[in-house]
Amino acid sequence: MHQIINSDRAPEPIGPYNQAVRAGNTLYVSGQIAINRETGEMVTEDIASETHQVMRNLEFILHEAGMGFRNVVKCTIFLRDMNDFATVNNIYGQYFTSHFPARETVQVARLPKDVGVEISCIAVAQ
């Protein structure tokens, strides 16, 4: 049995998927990009602004499921350019201040809407 989780504060999915699916105590959050739901606009001034928007979108979805970053056990970061790693890592660290999750970061050829970063995560309710 699973439960669909969609936050009205995070961007609507741009394909046939949901923002997150909860199966038991585990929440699987789809990859988020830097769309600001309030404006409908992409946040693309720079990789720092883009990453902050992605992290806020993840936070909105986690909150909708009654969780927070403290519940996250695994993240995957997709970067268009590995030269952005230090900036993304620094901003990511502002949201995960303890109980750091497992993670991998990979450079990919292209991301949806040609963004610079996409992040997905898995969280577990305590």
77 pLDDT tier (thresholds 50, 70, 90): very high
The pLDDT assigned to 126 comes to: 84
DSSP string of 51-111, one letter each residue:
HHHHHHHHHHHHHHTT--GGGEEEEEEEES-GGGHHHHHHHHHHH--SSPPEEEEEE-S--
Q: For 82-99, write each residue's pLDDT tens digit.
A: 999 999 999 999 999 888
Residue 14 has pLDDT above 90, yes or no: no
pTM above 0.95, yes or no: yes
The pLDDT assigned to 97 comes to: 85
